[in-house]
């Protein structure tokens, strides 16, 4: 294989190519009018998000020579495109592949062996490549010339403490093992060459900083901005598989991510990044971070956070700054969570065998409440499924409510879920609460920050000894009559009203 062919084989798509693709599909609008990154861009983008509208590319941003892209992952459809898929159902196929890698089982049939062989070949294709003349190094800025104010960071809400980076890949390395971590954390601009990074203590970057502190070392940090959205999805996937985020991205996209060595730190970044910020954190050097509007729909508090001192910025010619912002759904992060939900489903089924399906409603912040359907076979199974769910994957640690229903309930239809709760639950018997469990520090509902309760609701049909009386037979249409009505639907003069269509206004809420 020649060098050019090999490069094509491992080359990952970049942000620019994705923007071009969605523009060709009518899913990108270019805004040439002058706009302010302070509040105005977020206000425009938020209105577009509420309508499920296209991505936006602001080409005339006050105070910066660079363009700003936002709402790029504002619909599940565009996220599927970013992951080289056309339908959300394909996300579950990806989840099956990841589940097979996480808990491989000896194949019992030739067909299973062939399928596992295909997955292993996908892993080989997914290994990162190297680019020695990367586009992200086309312009290099160091020393006094470095000014982070040139990057058109936005301030989404009037009560926010300052400008922020939201969709940057924050890359660090374990000083003992050399294994990198790629996370998506919020950063606040503090000065022309410093920012604070806000990460939870359980995240990889925070663990790396603690290890560096124990050895009296500074922690090297690289921030990659404006990368292929597929890589962002890989970095936002906290699935417990012993694979790097780069390999994850390669598995997601079907080919390896091209990486490049940073100029001043011993880290690697996607070669096609629009911007790369290189710096260090001195353990113990902190500054107040926040408040900022967060995904709960409120302003968070002020927290002392690690200070990153940047000494080098590299970028492509005419770079594009990719951003987003948090808040009450719908937001881009909620769309990402919906897509990840589909990927998690096969993995969750593999870990908790009784689970048929599960759903994290966007209105419940995409992780605060989970609805699980099970194929109930024995008493107490719903409670077991809820407890297993909380420990199945790290991101479910902060799920406050788990509702378990029977497999015949459509968990994505709020009418059916509410019916199951109200018709099958005795609060004394079927609601259980776990007190004082780890809690999201951004959740103000708990009495103590970082510590709160979880509730499980068993909304399944009860069987002995859960109940000592017979359950009523469910109401169902007569099968013959239902079939006849379906055949004669057009004859009734109702052909324009498709069977199964429901006017959401009849119920006082928007089902979509």
Known catalytic residue: 294?
Answer: yes
Asked whether 429 and 461 are in contact (CB, 8 A), the reply is: no
Nearest-Å Rg of the Cα atoms of the chain is: 25
Candidates 183, 176, 217; CA nearest to 203 is 183
In a domain, 256, yes or no: yes
Asked whether 156 and 327 are in contact (CB, 8 A), the reply is: yes
Q: pTM for this one?
A: 0.80
Task: Give 400: exposed, middle or buried? Use CB within 10 Å, 0-12, 13-18, 19+.
Answer: buried
* All residues at 6 or more sequence positions from 347 whose CB lies less than 8 Å from its CB, including other chains: 95, 98, 99, 102, 239, 393
* All residues at 6 or more sequence positions from 289 whose CB lies less than 8 Å from its CB, including other chains: 161, 188, 196, 197, 198, 302, 303, 304, 305
Q: Are residues 410 and 295 in the same domain?
A: no
Asked whether 259 and 271 are in contact (CB, 8 A), the reply is: yes
Q: Are residues 235 and 302 in the same domain?
A: yes
Q: What is the pLDDT of residue 504?
A: 43
| Helix H or strand E segment including 427 | helix 427-430
Q: Are residues 266 and 413 in the same domain?
A: no
In a domain, 114, yes or no: yes
In a domain, 329, yes or no: no
Identify the domain containing residue 89 by its residue range.
3-322
In a domain, 494, yes or no: no
Residue that finishes a domain, picked among 439, 459, 479: 459
In a domain, 381, yes or no: yes
In a domain, 466, yes or no: no
Longest dimension (CA), the chain: 81
DSSP conformation class of 316: -
Asked whether 78 and 27 are in contact (CB, 8 A), the reply is: yes
Residue 93, token pair as written in the block:
């196929």
CATH code of the domain covering residue 423: 3.40.1670.10
Residue 31, token pair as written in the block:
């805004």
Q: Are residues 314 and 411 in the same domain?
A: no
Give the number of domains in the chain.
2
Asked whether 67 and 37 are in contact (CB, 8 A), the reply is: no
Helices (H), 266-403: 332-351, 381-392
Total count of residues recorded for the chain: 512
In a domain, 327, yes or no: no
Candidates 295, 298, 299; CA nearest to 334 is 295
Q: Are residues 103 and 183 in the same domain?
A: yes
| Other Cβ atoms closer than 10 A to 245 | 22
Q: Are residues 378 and 314 in the same domain?
A: no
C-alpha to C-alpha distance for 140 and 87, rounded to whole angstroms: 40
DSSP code string of 259-295:
EEE-SSSS-EEETT-SEEEEEEEEEEEEEEE---B-T
Q: What is the pLDDT of residue 162?
A: 96
Q: Are residues 382 and 304 in the same domain?
A: no
Q: What is the pLDDT of residue 125?
A: 66
For every one of its 512 residues, what pLDDT tens digit does the chain have, with 9 covering 90 and above?
333 333 333 333 799 999 999 999 999 999 999 999 999 999 999 999 988 899 999 999 999 999 999 999 999 899 989 888 887 778 877 777 776 666 555 445 555 545 545 555 566 666 778 888 999 999 999 989 999 999 999 999 999 999 999 999 999 999 988 889 999 999 999 999 999 999 988 788 999 999 999 999 999 999 999 999 999 988 887 655 456 778 777 777 777 889 999 999 999 999 999 999 999 999 999 999 999 998 878 898 899 999 999 999 999 999 999 999 999 888 898 888 888 888 877 778 877 888 898 898 888 777 889 999 999 999 999 999 999 998 887 778 889 999 999 999 999 999 999 999 999 999 999 999 999 888 777 777 878 888 889 999 999 999 899 888 887 787 788 899 989 988 988 888 878 776 555 544 444 444 44
Candidates 173, 155, 177; CA nearest to 164 is 155
Q: Are residues 266 and 147 in the same domain?
A: yes
Q: Are residues 212 and 297 in the same domain?
A: yes
Q: Are residues 381 and 258 in the same domain?
A: no
Q: Are residues 380 and 318 in the same domain?
A: no
In a domain, 14, yes or no: yes
Cis ω for the linkage preceding 486 (within 30 of 0): no
**Of the residues 131, 160, 294, 458, which is catalytic?**
294
As beta bridge partners, residue 491 has none
């Amino acid at each position: 294989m020649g060098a050019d062919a090999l490069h094509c084989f491992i080359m990952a798509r970049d942000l620019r190519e994705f923007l071009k693709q969605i523009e060709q599909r009518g899913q990108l609008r270019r805004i040439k009018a002058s706009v302010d990154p302070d509040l105005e861009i977020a206000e425009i983008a938020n209105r577009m998000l509420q309508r499920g509208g296209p991505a936006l590319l602001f080409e005339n941003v006050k105070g910066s020579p660079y363009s700003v892209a936002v709402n790029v992952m504002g619909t599940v459809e565009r996220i599927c495109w970013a992951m080289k898929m056309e339908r959300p159902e394909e996300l579950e196929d990806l989840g099956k592949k990841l589940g097979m890698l996480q808990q491989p089982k000896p194949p019992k049939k030739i067909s299973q062996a062939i399928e596992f062989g295909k997955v292993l070949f996908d892993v080989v294709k997914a290994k990162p490549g190297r680019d020695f003349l990367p586009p992200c190094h086309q312009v290099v800025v160091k020393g006094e010339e470095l000014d982070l104010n040139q990057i058109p960071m936005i301030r989404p809400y009037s009560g926010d403490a300052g400008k922020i980076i939201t969709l940057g890949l924050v890359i660090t390395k374990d000083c003992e093992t050399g294994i990198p971590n790629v996370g998506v954390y919020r950063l606040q601009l503090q000065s022309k060459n410093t920012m604070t990074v806000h990460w939870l203590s359980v995240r990889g970057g925070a663990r790396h900083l603690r290890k560096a502190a124990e050895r009296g070392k500074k922690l090297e940090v690289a921030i990659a901005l404006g990368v292929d959205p597929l890589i962002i999805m890989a970095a936002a996937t906290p699935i417990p598989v012993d694979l790097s985020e780069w390999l994850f991205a390669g598995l997601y996209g079907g080919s390896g991510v091209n990486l490049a060595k940073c100029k001043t730190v011993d880290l690697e970044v996607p070669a096609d990044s629009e911007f790369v910020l290189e710096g260090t954190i001195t353990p113990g050097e902190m500054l107040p971070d926040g408040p900022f509007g967060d995904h709960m729909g409120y302003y968070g508090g002020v927290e002392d956070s690690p200070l990153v001192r940047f000494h080098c910025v590299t970028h492509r010619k005419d770079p594009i700054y990719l951003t987003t912002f948090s808040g009450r759904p719908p937001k881009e992060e909620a769309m990402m969570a919906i897509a990840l939900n589909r990927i998690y489903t096969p993995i969750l089924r593999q870990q908790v065998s009784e689970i048929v399906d599960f759903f994290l409603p966007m209105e419940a912040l995409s992780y605060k409440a989970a609805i699980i359907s099970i194929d109930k076979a024995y008493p107490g199974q719903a409670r077991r499924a809820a407890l297993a769910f909380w420990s199945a994957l790290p991101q479910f640690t902060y799920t406050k409510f788990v509702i378990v229903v029977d497999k015949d309930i459509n968990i994505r239809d709020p009418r059916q879920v509410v019916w199951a709760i109200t018709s099958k639950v005795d609060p004394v018997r079927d609601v259980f609460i776990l007190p004082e469990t780890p809690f999201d520090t951004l959740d103000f509902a708990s009495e103590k920050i970082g510590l709160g309760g979880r509730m499980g609701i068993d909304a399944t049909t009860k069987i002995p000894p859960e109940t000592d009386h017979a359950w009523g037979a469910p109401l169902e249409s007569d099968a013959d009559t239902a079939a006849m009505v379906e055949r004669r639907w057009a004859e009734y003069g109702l052909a324009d009203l498709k069977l199964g269509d429901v006017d959401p206004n009849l119920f006082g809420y928007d089902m979509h």
